[in-house]
Amino acid sequence: MTIKTDRRSFIKVSTAAGGGLMLGFTWVACKPEAEHAIALAMPEEWYDVNAFLKIGDTGLVSIMSPNPEIGQNVKTSMPMIVAEELGVDWKDVIVEQAALSKDFDRQVAGGSQSIRKSWDSLRNAGATAREMLISAAAEKMEVDARECTVDKGIISHSSGKSVSFGEVASMASKQEVPTQVSFKDPSAYKIIGTDRRNVDGKNIVQGKPLFGIDTRKEGMMYASVLRPPSFGQTLETFDDSAAKNVKGVTEVIRFGDKIAVLGNSNWAAIKGKKSLKAIWKKGESLENSADHDAAMKQILKNAKGESLRKDGDVAKAFKEADSILDRTYEAPFLPHNCMEPMNFMASVEGEKCYAEGPIQTPEWTQNRIATATGLKPENVEIKLTRMGGGFGRRLYGDFAEEVAQISQKAGVPVQLLFTREDDMTAGTYRPASKYRIQAAVKDGKLTAYKLTEAAMNSNMYGLIAHFFPAGCVDNYEVVAGKVESNITTGAWRAPYTNFLGFAEQSFFDELAAEMKIDPVQLRLDLLENVKGTTDENIEYSGERMQGVIKLAAEKAGWGKAKDGVYQGFSAYYSHNTHVAEVAEVVLEDNKPVVKKVYCAVDCGIVINPLAAKNQIEGGIIDGIGHAMFGDLTFEKGSPSASNFDRYRLIRNIEAPDVEVHFVENVLSPTGLGEPSLPPAGGAVANAIAAATGDRFYKQPFIQYKDVIG
C-alpha cells in the first residue's frame, strides 16, 4: 500500500460530507478530562489522525469536542459519536475542548443545532480514522484489510491475528485518507444510545477551574464597568477621584458611554465602580412598558405587519364561520440570568489579542473584537471555557468586545466581570410580545386560523409561520408586526417560540372546548391533513407529531386521571424536535399546584439518554419557572429588577416531577437544549384551567393572584 501524508484529500472528503476541515492543525497539550477512570496509560507520543482525534502509543484516544459547552452536554455527546464510528471503548477516550479553529465548521452553541448539524462530520471523522487504522493494521499483520474488523480499540483479522490502536497509531496517521467511508448501522451501536456521564462531572463536583470566571493570566487585572442606568441615556461627565482612592483600584478608563474601573481584585473593581460619580445626559427616549403595551395592542388590532404565510381565503372563512374564537396572549421582557454572569478575559498586545472565556459564538466574537480594536480577525485568538449557562445571552459578545477595548487601553490583560446587577440591567432581553390568535369553526371543523404577532424590535422569523397548524388548515395566515425600541433584545432559550408555544397550545385547548372535542383528538385530526404535504416550507412531520402526542397521552393516562388530578395537554415542534407534554395539577388549599409533567420526545437517535433526559427535565422546569414568575418591565428606560431579590426564578421546591419518554427510531438526531421548553407553559396553563376553570392569557402567571395565591 502506498503511504501518503496528503491531508488535502481528507479535506475534500470531509467537506463533501458536510464538515470537519483540518487545515494547519496543531495539537495542544492534551489534558485528560474524562470523568471515568482511564484504563490505559498516558501515551508518550500522540499521533493526529484528523482534526477531531489523535491516538496515543498506548491506544488512548483523545477526541476534540468542537462546539462550545453551555450545559447542553455536547462535550460528552459529540465525542461519543466520533468514538462510536472509530470503534474505541469509551473508557479509553479522553476529551478536549477545541479552541476557535478553522479546522471545524460551525463552532456555535445555539438553536439546538450542534448535534444535528455535526452528525455527519463527527461520524466521518471517526469512520475515516477507523479505516486508516484498519489499513495500517492490515499492513502490519500482512493481511487483507477487507477481512479486518474493529472493536474496543482492537483491529482483528479473521485468522485470529490482532493489533491494538496503540500499536498502529503512528502508521495509521500516515495512511492515505479514504475517499469513501461507510457509517455503522445503528443496530451495531455500542456507545450511541447508552448512558454516559458528563466528562466534566468529576471536575465540576470538585470545584475545579472550568468556567470563564475562573480564567487567570499573569498580570491580569479585574474590571467592573459602569454603564448608563437606563436605555436611552448617555454619559456627560464623571468624577473618579473617590474611585481612585479605593484600595486596590489601579486605573479608571472611559470608553464611549461606559467607565471601566480596574483593580487587583473583583472587589476592588466593584467597590471602585460604586465610588464613581457619573452625570448622565437626560435621554431623548426613555421608554416605558405601558407605552410598549399600547403600541403592540394597536398592531394586533389592525393586524399590521409583515405577512409571513397566507393560505386560502382567511377573510372569507371568518365571514362564513359558525363561531369564532379570538384570544390575545401577552408576555413581558425576560433577562437570561445565566448563573455565571457575563465575563471575558482579553489581553491585547500590539497587533494581537488573546481572549478567553464563555461564548456561544466564538467566530462572530472574534470579528466583533477585531472591529472594536482595529486588529485583524486572524490576530484575535479565542479560547473557549465551559459556560455557566448561556440561554442565548452568550450569543452576543458585547462583553468580550468591551474587555478587549479595555485591555487595549490599559495595556494589560483584563478580566471583565458583570455584577449580577450589570447582567440583569445590560441584557439582550427576550422581547416583550403579544399574540392574537383567531380561529373560525364551521360545521364542527376548523376552517381558518390567523396568528398576529406584535413584538418589541422583532421576534418571529419566517420559519415559525410554517409550524403546526400550518398545512393543517386550508385558510391560514400569519402576520408579524414590531415596535422599534432602544432596549436591546435578542435570542432567549427557544427564541421566537418560548412564548408562542404557550399561546398556541393554550388556544388549542380552548378551541377544543369550543368544538366540543378532546384536545388530544383535535390535534391528531388536524395533523392528518399535513401528511404527505409537498410544501417545502413545512419541516415538521405529521406522523412524528402524532407519534409524540400518542406517546405522551399513553404514558400520562390521558383522560384517565385519578380523582383530584387535573391534566393539561400541549404539543410543540421547534428546533427540529417534536415534543408533547401532559401536566398534572392538584388543588392544595384550593390553589393549583403542578405535581408532574409527562413528556414524549422525538429527536431521532438519542445519543446519550442520561444526558438527554437531563435536558428535557431542565427545559420543562425552566419553561414552567418563567411562565410562572419571569417578569421584567421598563420605566423611563430602566428595568424593574436588577437582582434575585426582586426577580424570581423557580426554586427546587416549586419544580414538578418530570417523566421523559423518547420515541424509538433510527432517524438522524436532532437537538434537545430547547424543544421541551415551549410546550411547558401551555401544558401547565391548560391543567390549571381544567382544575379551576380559569384561563391565563398573560405571563407570568403569578399576576393571577386570586387563582394561584
Partner 1 sequence: MASYELNVNGKNYTVDVDADMPILWVLRDTLGLVGTKYGCGISQCGACTIHLDGTAARSCGIPVSKIEGKKITTIEGLSKDGSHPVQQAWIEHDVPQCGYCQAGQIMTASAFLKDNKSPSDEDIQQAMSGNLCRCGTYLRIRKAVKTASKNS
Nearest approach, Cβ of residue 420 and partner 1 (Å)? 4
For residue 399 the three cell numbers come to 462583553
Nearest approach, Cβ of residue 249 and partner 1 (Å)? 11
Choose the binding region for partner 1 from 50-58, 298-306, 308-316, 335-343 (rule: CB under 8 A): 335-343
Q: Which is nearer to partner 1, 56 or 388 (CB)?
A: 388
For residue 47 the three cell numbers come to 499521533
Q: Which is nearer to partner 1, 263 or 568 (CB)?
A: 263
Considering only residues 102, 174, 197, 442, which one is a binding residue for partner 1 as defined by CB under 8 A? 197
CB of 475 closer than 8 Å to CB of 317: yes
- Rounded (to 5) percent helix, strand, coil in the chain: 35, 25, 40
- Is 213 an interacting residue with respect to partner 1 (CB under 8 A)? yes
One character per residue 12-51, x = contact with partner 1 (rule: CB under 8 A): -----------------------x----------------
Q: Which is nearer to partner 1, 214 or 313 (CB)?
A: 214
Choose the binding region for partner 1 from 87-95, 203-211, 307-315, 560-568 (rule: CB under 8 A): 203-211
- Is 95 an interacting residue with respect to partner 1 (CB under 8 A)? no
Q: Which is nearer to partner 1, 24 or 209 (CB)?
A: 209
Among left, alpha and beta (phi > 0; psi -120 to 50; other), residue 89 is: beta
- Is 90 an interacting residue with respect to partner 1 (CB under 8 A)? no
CB of 14 closer than 8 Å to CB of 23: no
Total of residues contacting partner 1 (CB under 8 A): 70
Considering only residues 146, 160, 207, 218, which one is a binding residue for partner 1 as defined by CB under 8 A? 207
Q: Which is nearer to partner 1, 71 or 178 (CB)?
A: 71
Q: Which is nearer to partner 1, 12 or 247 (CB)?
A: 247
Query: 3-state SS string over 275-314?
Result: CCEEEEECCCCCCCHHHHHHHHHHHHHHCCCEEEEEECCH
Q: Where would I find the H helices in 163-308?
A: 165-173, 201-205, 241-244, 266-274, 289-302
Residues 640-669 that bind partner 1 (CB under 8 A): 643-645, 649-655, 657-658
- Is 575 an interacting residue with respect to partner 1 (CB under 8 A)? no
Considering only residues 198, 328, 489, 699, which one is a binding residue for partner 1 as defined by CB under 8 A? 198
Q: Which of 562, 704, 693 is nearest to 628 (CA)?
A: 704
Rounded Cα–Cα distance for residues 327 and 452 (Å): 11
Rounded Cα–Cα distance for residues 68 and 66 (Å): 7
| DSSP for residue 498 | T
Nearest approach, Cβ of residue 265 and partner 1 (Å)? 4
For residue 376 the three cell numbers come to 485583524
Q: Which is nearer to partner 1, 76 or 489 (CB)?
A: 76
Q: Which of 511, 708, 701 is nearest to 623 (CA)?
A: 701
**Phi, psi of 397, rounded to the nearest 5 degrees:** -90, 35
- Is 611 an interacting residue with respect to partner 1 (CB under 8 A)? yes
Residues 390-449 that bind partner 1 (CB under 8 A): 390-391, 417, 419-421
Rounded Cα–Cα distance for residues 707 and 709 (Å): 6
What interhelical angle do 8-16 and 114-141 show, nearest 10? Answer: 140
Residues 67-86 that bind partner 1 (CB under 8 A): 70-73
Instruction: Give the strand pairing for 433-442 and 445-456.
Output: antiparallel
Nearest approach, Cβ of residue 546 and partner 1 (Å)? 28
Q: Which of 95, 165, 89, 83 is nearest to 132 (CA)?
A: 165
- Is 610 an interacting residue with respect to partner 1 (CB under 8 A)? yes
C-alpha 702: how far from its chain's center? 26
Nearest approach, Cβ of residue 608 and partner 1 (Å)? 9
Instruction: Give the strand pairing for 46-50 and 445-456.
Output: unpaired
Rounded Cα–Cα distance for residues 408 and 353 (Å): 9
Residues 362-391 that bind partner 1 (CB under 8 A): 386-391
Rounded Cα–Cα distance for residues 672 and 654 (Å): 23
Nearest approach, Cβ of residue 12 and partner 1 (Å)? 37
Nearest approach, Cβ of residue 204 and partner 1 (Å)? 4
Considering only residues 8, 31, 216, 319, which one is a binding residue for partner 1 as defined by CB under 8 A? 216
CB of 398 closer than 8 Å to CB of 365: no
Considering only residues 101, 505, 615, 692, which one is a binding residue for partner 1 as defined by CB under 8 A? 615
Binding site for partner 1 (CB under 8 A): 35, 70-73, 195, 197-198, 200-202, 204-211, 213-214, 216, 222, 247-248, 264-268, 270-271, 337-341, 386-391, 417, 419-421, 610-611, 614-615, 617-622, 625, 643-645, 649-655, 657-658
